[in-house]
Structure formats: structure tokens, C-alpha cells
Structure 1
Amino acid sequence: MIEKSLLPPLKMGMRSSVNVSSDVLSALLETPALHALLDSFSEAIILCDGESRVRFLNLAAERVNRVSREDAIGLPNAEFFQRSALSFDDFQQAVGRGGNSALTRSRDGRMFLTSTQAVPTGAYEKPYTLLVQRDFEGRESPRRTSQQAFAPAENSGLGDPQDNALHLSPLLSSIADTGVRAFRRRARLLLLGEPGVGKTAIARHIHRAAGWGDRPFIHVNCGSIPESLFESEMFGYERGAFTGALQSGKRGYIESASGGTLFLDEIGEIPLHVQAKLLKFLEDGSIQSVGSPLSKTVQVQVIAATNKDLRRLVESGEFRADLYYRLAVLPVEIPPLRQHLEDLPVLMDILLMRINRDRQPTLRLSGGCRQRLLSYDYPGNIRELVNIFERLAVLADDEASEQHLPPELLGLIAPISIRPTTPRQEVDAELPADDELGESLKAQVQRYERQLILQAVQSQGSKRKAAQQLGIDIGTLIRKLQRD
């Protein structure tokens, strides 16, 4: 063990007219508010006291150095350097020569610019030392990074316009702001809403808006993982854990999200036998890989999402009640698009802008096409809207007209409803109402015909066009409407 300090106090430090005593600074480092502030920084921050012992490191420093805060605090900086996943040899030599920065390298080849400066304390006290680590590759090519940030991703489609609309819609902005505040306070979020409402876009927005943009965001679709592989995919496995396992083992989704966000989409699809293990992770942050006798601690912020009624699943025994309460610290309801149609023009403009980014000639909407889009109910929510615009981008040359729209918007076929229903609602949809049970089949057919005709008239705007759509003459349509 090296006894002397590897980071001697520097003559060039932070300039301040007021020095804070080490006792005050030490007490300040115990406050959750300062922890939350420093954890929001993208740079890795490590603070050592006058005795060269680690007093604090933020989440970015934990992720970069692969050392947890609990293990690091109290260590001499020499021992911390030895435990770190980075090589500090060049940095220590640079500091020994009187320098204040040098490159540190990780085992996977990433480079970080590590710099140090003194934090003034009392007049007769040794100053604290601040280490800041920044991704050197990101600083090396800012122009390329900037271009990549605005370039459309290959094979990514139009994406979710709701990600942009969050800043323009008062309703969505309020929902997102609530989520960001809870996320920064380490509260677990449960995003609720119909399929296609943009739960993934909102989860990503919360992750970035909380200052975690440079940290991992691991999106796990729980419904797409086979039940037999769920445990090994989520928690990882060791070498030889089962037949067909990789010789090197595999990190699970949870460990891959270390220091960042784990987004558990379709959380209601998690198999019952795995829920107990997930509950343990949520309670104490520990995971145990398949085939390993040891547990490890992982610091991850969890956001869950579902379009199912988890309370009903709890009542039916398909979902653990204790897991539900661990996940639903703050349930956030994402409204369907039909409940905030005032945002539709903004969403449409965003999608047109994305289409025209790399399209010649540029696409525009005819007046009739735009009116049809604005008057539609969108049972498929944001996802259906995106699909419609992708269709227009393929079928239309320079102007999208009504003929390019899908038949649901033209009233030719009934739209598919994906709104969640209860078993009772499904039965009610198949059976006639109680007051219709005594009617003859002919009377029920006539009533159904009348409903179809009225829907066609409403969608087409005139009885003549409705008759053409339904394939009957205008006289037949009028006669059926006038029939009692």
C-alpha cells in the first residue's frame, strides 16, 4: 500500500472568496440534495478529503470505474485506483510531475480525460481534491457527434413524434414533468396506457430529461422473451449454467443497465415464477445469475410499463401483489390520442418534417386528406398515426390525397379497436342487449343496417356518396333510413 498521497494539493485550484471548513463540507456531502445534483451530471465526479480518502462519487463515476459508492467511500485513493476498471498509471505519473490531467483507459479500450483540482477548505486544513472524468472520444469529434445526433437512423422508420410533442402539448408536458421529478427522486414509475400511446417515448424522455442521457437505457420487452429463457435473459448466467450456454457466460438485462435505466415494457407478461426473483432485486438491488452461488449489487433506476390492468391480474393470481406495490410507487396514466386530439396538428407536422428530411420531392397533404386525418379517432393511437404517414410516404408522390389513406379513414371498413376490455365487456359485445333479445332476426338485421348506413353518411358527408360506398342506389338507402 502506498502511504503518501498520490494527489498532492495543487497550487492551482478553484478560486473562491470563501473557504468552507472540512467539517461543513463533510456534512454537506451527506445531504441527499447534493447527491441528487451530482448524480445528474454526465461527467464522472470523485471527491477525496484532505487525507486522500474517497468521500463521494456520483453514479457516472460508479459506471465508469465499475466500483459502487458503498465500496469506494473511505478507501485511500491509491486503493480506489487499483480497484477501478480504468488504468490510472499515466494519470498518477502526470500528477507526480505537477500536472493536473491525463488520459485513463478502460479494459475495453475507451479513453477518459481525468483531471484534478483542489477544493479550498479552512485556512489550516488540507484541501479536498476533485477528480472529473470525461469521455475523451466524445470530445475528440464533436462535429461528427453532432451530425450523428441529427441524422435519421437507418431502418428506424419515422419514430415516435410524441417524443417531440412532449414539449408542445400542455397535457403531455405536465405528465412528463411529473415523471422526471419522480425519477430524480429515485421513485419507480409505472406507465399505464393503451397500446401505441407512446409509453416508450415518454420513458426515454424521462431518462434524458433527468440528465441521464449518457447512461445506459435498456429497453426490455417482457412479452417477447420466451418463458423458458426469461430468467437467464433478465439476470444473466454463468459458464456451463445449462446446455447451450455460452462458454463466457452472459450478462443479463439488469446488469447491462447498471448505472442507468431499466425499462421493463409489458411488465404484465413476466412469468409468475420469475416475479419473486425480480421482487428481490427491487427490494435490495441484488441479482443472482443463473448457475452462480453469489449475489451482486446493481444500481439501476426502473421504469415499468403495461397496457394491462395489473390490479385485475393481482386479483386473479397472475401477478404478485407485493411486486405490484414495488413497481407502482407512482403510476402515470398516458392518455390515448383521442383524448388530446388538439395535439394532432403538431404530431402531423412533426411526421411530415421527418418524412421530408431525406425525400425528394417533398410530401404535402391535400386539404381533404388533412381533414380526414384530423377527424379520425385513432384507436391505434400514436402507432397508428405513424403507420398512416409511412403509408402516405410510399403511395404518394408529392401530394397525399384521400385515395392514399387506408380504408379505415375512408369509412370503407370498421377500424380495429385495441382498447383493453374486461371479460364482461367482451361477452356484452357479442350478445345483443337485453331489450333486443325478444326481437326477431329480421328486426335486428334492420337495426344493424341502419347503423351502418348512418355511419357511412357521417363519414362521407352525403347520402349519395354513402350509397356509392355501400354499393346500393340512393333510393334504397333513403328507404332503409325511413323504415321504422
Structure 2
Amino acid sequence: MKFYAPHPASKGGTRARPAFIDGPEFALFLNGLPDATAFLELDGRIRLVNVAFERLLATGRAGLLGTDLTRHGRNGEDLLLGAATALARLQRFEGRGAIAGQPNTRAMLQVLRSGEGTPYGALLVLTPPERGTAPLGGTFRFLTEQNPPDAGPVLSPAHASAEARALRALTQASPLLVTGETGTGKTAFIRRIAGADPDRPLVHVACTSLTEANFTAEMQGQDHAPGGRRAGLIEAASGGTLCLDHVEDLTLPLQARLLALLDADSFRPFADGGTVRLVTATVVDLSALVAKGAFRADLFHRIAAVRVTLPALRDEPDMIPALTQRIMARINLHRHPPLSLSPAFTQLLLGHDYPGNIRELENILAHAATTSGAQATAEDFTTPPRPAAMARPAGTDLRSQVQAFEEGLIADALASHRSKRSAAKALGIDVATLIRKTGRARHSTPNKE
């Protein structure tokens, strides 16, 4: 096996290591391999590993990267030491032995060279006996065993920092405002930080469902409701968290009523004596709405004691390989044959700007899973059109632009699916939300004469 540098020699000499080794494509390639695989520097240090390698050695990535291969020889007796010795001599190595309790594991080390024959690293592949000796494939294949859907979340440094701040806010019962573009995973983020404890309820409500007619009954409950007393959202969240999603959709009168309700003297009685942690979420810049008079400044400061912003996917392109692996693991859980991604498809995936963020990445891969056979090619790469972004009327405010973009996504989903239920599933929302949003779109569309 050889990997050749994709660029010609320059006047200053050749670059020993191909550029793609340090890019996300190579990490994606390693994570797509079914066998435990590591990329080694020539001095024996481990530079990259895939999930299967971590599992086989029972050591996390942090305990592997940057360490000398010989340090882990205790896990593989003479096998890893033999591979390290061969690498020092720039020789190919094959052998069998026990690694981390796995007897008869096959190890293969291949020195990688540039087109001019200059060595720049090595691949170490460890194959447990139950996997056989299948050769490495040339496609990007994602198997469920490498990254099961119930594994921990894929977190970038920015996400991890936001999660740590949010958890501290909830621990201190400080009102938390979560912002981020559509599709950045705000709902999943809130569920992760607030819904992990089964003894602490998480009540999630879309503010678009709150009206002046039902606000009091929804928030505070009804003592004489048909069929008996009906608890409100605050009481249901007692001891846990109340999440108000799309808080920007509240009208100014409802904002005033929410502010009055959030006053401690009004809030506690309906919480049945328990503390209710408040989380709000929005896709817009509330401070900009405050400046325009579309959102109350006093309410903004009341709900935004702590603010966290989830980054857009285009700002974190290094996350695309890990997110792709997680999504593909979920897709391949019940797909036969398992889907693999061709290099051409992968290049398109890595080069896209994702205005719909993580949700758009999920939709692209879900579409490829339905249109392709065993491997997704460039022809299977489809992105939704962007009518709102391409035809943005001058002078339109941010809220209208967001609504227009959302309506475009909904229209595309309805056109691409047989039912509202499947369209809602593709968009990552429930059917009731889809029906409500399509109804709002009809009412907001001017009559054409």
C-alpha cells in the first residue's frame, strides 16, 4: 500500500508528507476502516487513531495520541514492540500475537512513502481473529460497531465549553439563554444538559404555541378544566427545567406577561415549592430585536443571565468527519448493505458550507442512503435550494428573513416526501409543529390578485 503526494516537486525540494495527511479527509478515511488502525510518525509516535484502535487497546484517544508505540507494548507483548522495531528500520512488519486479551491478533505495519520514495510515516493495522484478514478497502465505510448511536455526543472544543458553562448555570439555577442558527443542535444540547437526570423533569414548549388566549392556562394550569384540574407548564417542571424554545416568537404583550410571571413571588407558588430552572432558546439575535423595540429589554436581561452560543458547522469544518461517522453509524444500523461514501462524495461533504448546519448534514446523508446502493457517489450528493438566501428583499428584517428561509426548507421537505409525517421527520420536528408552521406561512403570504 502506498499513498502518493498529490502535488509535484517544487524548486525548494519535495514535501515528504502529502498535504492530505494533515487534513480532515485522512482522519475520515481512518475512521471508515473496520480494523483498528493508527498512523505513526517515523519516530514511532502515534499521530492518528480510529475508534476501533481505541477499543482494541482499551485506551482513549487522549492516552494514545502523541505517545510512543512502545509505551503500549505491555498491551500487546512482543507484537507492538516488533512493529515499533520494524518502523525504526523502515521495514514492513507482519505478525500475530495477543493484544489486550485478544489472542491471535494480526498486526501489519506498512511504511508510507512519497512519490519520490521518501518515507513520511506508517500505517499500523491490527485485526482481531474474528474479523479475519480482509484487505483494506479504498472507500470510506462506516460500520455501527465503530461508533454506536448510543455513544457519547460529538463535541468540539466550542461545544464542550458551551456545555460546561450551561451546566454551571443550571447548577446555580441561573436563567440560561441558548442561541444558535437553525440546525445547530440547540434542542439536543438542552436535552443533554437538562434532561439527563430522570428525577429532574425537562418540560419543553415552543413559544409559537403560546397565545394571549391560552398563555395563563398553559403556564399556570387550570383549576376547573374539563375533566378536572390541569397542571401548568411551571408546575410540571417543578424540581427540573422549563425550556421556552423560539422565545423570539412571543408577542410584546406575551413578553410582558412572561416577565411578570418570572417574578419570584409569582413563579414559586405555581412551581409547587420546587425550584424551576429556566432555559430559553432562539435562532435570532435578541439584542438586535431589543434595539429595534421588538423584544423587551427587561425580559431579555431577565432570561439571559448566562448566554451560550452554539457555533455554526461552517465555522467548525473539522467536526464534519466525526459527525458524519456518528450519522452513518445510525444509518447503517439497519441498512443492508451498509452504506459507504466514495472519495468524490466525501470531498463534496467536506467542502459544503452547510447553511442548515448539522440538520442539513443529516439530511444530505439520509438522502444519499435512499438514492444509492452500497456506495454513495457524487451524483447522490444533494443539497436543498436556498430561495430565501438568493432572493432576499432589500429592507427585510432579520425575523422575516429567518421565517422565509424556514418556509423554504419546509416547502422543499413537503415536495420531497409523500406525507407530512415523513417531511417532519426529515426536518427534525414533530408533525404538529410542521402543521402549525405551514399554517403560519399561509396566513403570512399576501393575496395575489
Give the TM-score normalised by structure 2: 0.50
| Cα distance change of structure 1 residues 397 and 407 upon mapping to structure 2, 3 Å threshold | same
Question: Paired residue for 1:187?
Answer: 174
The answer to whether structure 1 residue 247 and structure 2 residue 208 are counterparts is no
- Correspondence for 2:75: none
Which region of structure 1 is more displaced relative to structure 2, 249-258 or 334-343?
249-258
8 Å Cα contact 2:219-2:233 kept in structure 1: yes
Match status 1:273 vs 2:258 = no
The verdict on how the C-alpha distance between 1:328 and 1:258 changes in structure 2, with shifts beyond 3 A counting, is same
What is the CA deviation profile of residues 123-157 of structure 1, one whole-angstrom value per residue up to 9, with x for unaligned ones?
xxxxxxxxxxxxxxxxxxxxxxxxxxxxx9xxxxx
Q: Deviations over 1:197-225 (max 9, x none)?
A: 1111111222156xx34321111111244
CA distance change for structure 1 residues 346 and 324 in 2, over 3 Å: closer, same or farther? same
360, 363, 379: which one aligns with 1:403: 379
User: Does the 8 Å contact 2:235/2:271 carry over to 1?
Assistant: no
Question: Which of 194, 197, 206 pairs up with 2:184?
Answer: 197
CA contact (8 A) 1:396 1:404 kept: yes
How many angstroms does 1:392 deviate by? 1.9
The 1:235/1:271 distance shift into structure 2, 3 A limit, reads: farther
Structure 1 residue 248: deviation in Å?
1.0
> 2:234·2:271 contact (CA, 8 Å) conserved in 1?
no
By how many angstroms is 1:175 displaced? 1.5
Q: Distance in 1 between matches of 2:323 and 2:217?
A: 39
Letter in 2 for 1:327: I
CA distance in 2, matches of 1:288, 1:182: 19
Cα distance in 2 for partners of 1:273, 1:298 equals 27
Match of 1:312 among 288, 300, 305: 288
Flag the 1:313–1:379 CA change in 2: closer, same or farther, 3 A. same
Residue 327 of structure 2 is aligned to residue 340 of structure 1: no
**Aligned-CA RMSD value:** 3.3
Q: Residues of 2 paired with 1:256 and 1:185: CA distance?
A: 20
**Equivalenced residues, count:** 251
Distance 1:236 1:308 in 2: 29
C-alpha contact 1:197 1:382 (8 A) present in aligned 2 = yes
Answer yes or no: is 1:323 the counterpart of 2:299.
Answer: yes
How big is the shift at 1:229? 2.5
The change in CA–CA distance for 1:216 and 1:228 in structure 2 (over 3 A counts) is same
**Higher relative contact order, structure no. (Cα contacts within 8 Å, ≥ 6 residues apart):** 2
Query: In the alignment, which residue of structure 1 is the partner of 2:213?
Result: 228
User: Could you tell me how far 1:267 is from its partner in structure 2?
Assistant: 0.8
Change in Cα spacing, 1:333 to 1:366, as seen in structure 2 (3 Å) is same
C-alpha spacing 1:415/1:319, structure 2 compared with 1 (3 Å): closer
Q: Which amino acid aligns with 1:171?
A: A
Does the CA contact (< 8 Å) of 1:286 and 1:297 recur in 2?
no
Whole-angstrom distance in 2 between the partners of 1:357 and 1:295: 42
- Give the drift of 1:305: 0.7
Q: Name the CA shift for 1:390/1:229 in 2 (closer, same or farther; >3 Å).
A: farther
Return the alpha-carbon distance in structure 2 between the equivalents of residues 296 and 207 of structure 1.
19
How many Å separate the matches in 2 of 1:421 and 1:173?
37
Distance 1:283 1:422 in 2: 40
Alignment of 1:207 onto 2:194: yes
In the alignment, structure 2 segments of 5+ residues that lack a partner are 1-143, 402-449
Aligned residue for 1:286, secondary structure, equals helix
Structure 2 counterpart of 1:263, from 243, 268, 271: 243
Q: Tell me the distance in 1 between the aligned counterparts of 2:388 and 2:320.
A: 20
Q: Which runs of 5+ in 1 are unaligned?
A: 1-151, 153-159, 240-244, 430-484
Q: Tell me if the contact between 1:287 and 1:297 (Cα under 8 Å) persists in the aligned partners.
A: no
> Is residue 340 of structure 2 the alignment partner of residue 364 of structure 1?
yes
Mapped partners of 2:261, 2:394: distance in 1: 31
Cα gap change, 1:326/1:389 in structure 2, threshold over 3 Å: closer, same or farther?
Answer: same
Once the two structures are superposed, residues 237-276 of structure 1 have per-residue CA deviations (whole angstroms, 9 ceiling, x without a partner) of: 221xxxxx52313222221111111111101112322323
- Pick the aligned partner of 1:349 from 314, 318, 325: 325
Instruction: Please give the alpha-carbon distance, in whole angstroms, between the structure 1 residues aligned to 2:204 and 2:347.
Output: 36
- Matched position secondary structure for 1:165: coil
Could you tell me which amino acid in structure 2 is paired with residue 282 of structure 1?
A: L
What amino acid does structure 2 have at the position aligned with 1:176?
A: E
Cα distance change, pair 400–224 in 1 and its aligned pair in 2 (3 A): farther
Matched residue type, 1:261: T
**CA deviation map 1:401-447 (0-9, x unaligned):** 22222155xxxx657649x9994788xx9xxxxxxxxxxxxxxxxxx
Task: In structure 1, give the amino acid aligned to 2:176.
Answer: L
Specify the alignment match of 1:112 in structure 2.
Answer: none
- Partners of 1:260 and 1:161 lie apart in 2 by 24
The 3 A distance-change label for structure 1 pair 229 and 281 is closer
Q: What secondary structure sits across from 1:384 in the alignment?
A: helix
Mapped contact 1:231–1:274 kept (Cα < 8 A): no
Residues 286 and 295 in structure 2, CA contact (< 8 A), matched pair in contact too = yes
Partner deviation per Cα, 1:69-106 (whole Å, 9 max, x = no partner): xxxxxxxxxxxxxxxxxxxxxxxxxxxxxxxxxxxxxx
CA contact (8 A) 1:258 1:300 kept: yes
Secondary structure, counterpart of 2:213 in structure 1: helix
CA distance in structure 1 between the partners assigned to 2:358 and 2:151 by the alignment:
7
Which one-letter code corresponds to 1:331 in the other structure? Answer: R
TM-score, reference length from structure 1: 0.47
Are the counterparts in 2 of residues 191 and 306 from structure 1 also a CA contact under 8 Å? yes
Identity %: 38
